[in-house]
Amino acid sequence: MSDQTIQRAQEVKRRHEAELMRKPNVVGVGIGYRTRAGQHTDEICIVVSVKAKVPGPALKRDDLLPTSIEGVPIDVVETGPIRAL
Distance of CA 50 to the CA centre of its chain: 8
Instruction: Give the predicted TM-score (pTM) of the model.
Output: 0.90
**Which CATH code, of 3.30.300, 1.25.40, 3.30.70, 1.10.10, is assigned to 3-78?**
3.30.300
pLDDT digits (tens, 9 = 90+) for 21-70: 999 899 999 999 999 888 889 999 999 999 999 888 888 998 999 999 99
pLDDT at residue 57 in the model: 87
Phi, psi of 27 (to 5 degrees): -120, -5
pLDDT at residue 42 in the model: 93
CB 49 within 8 Å of CB 82: yes
DSSP single-letter state for residue 71: T
1 has a pLDDT exceeding 80: no
How far apart, in whole angstroms, are the C-alpha atoms of residue 29 and residue 11? 13
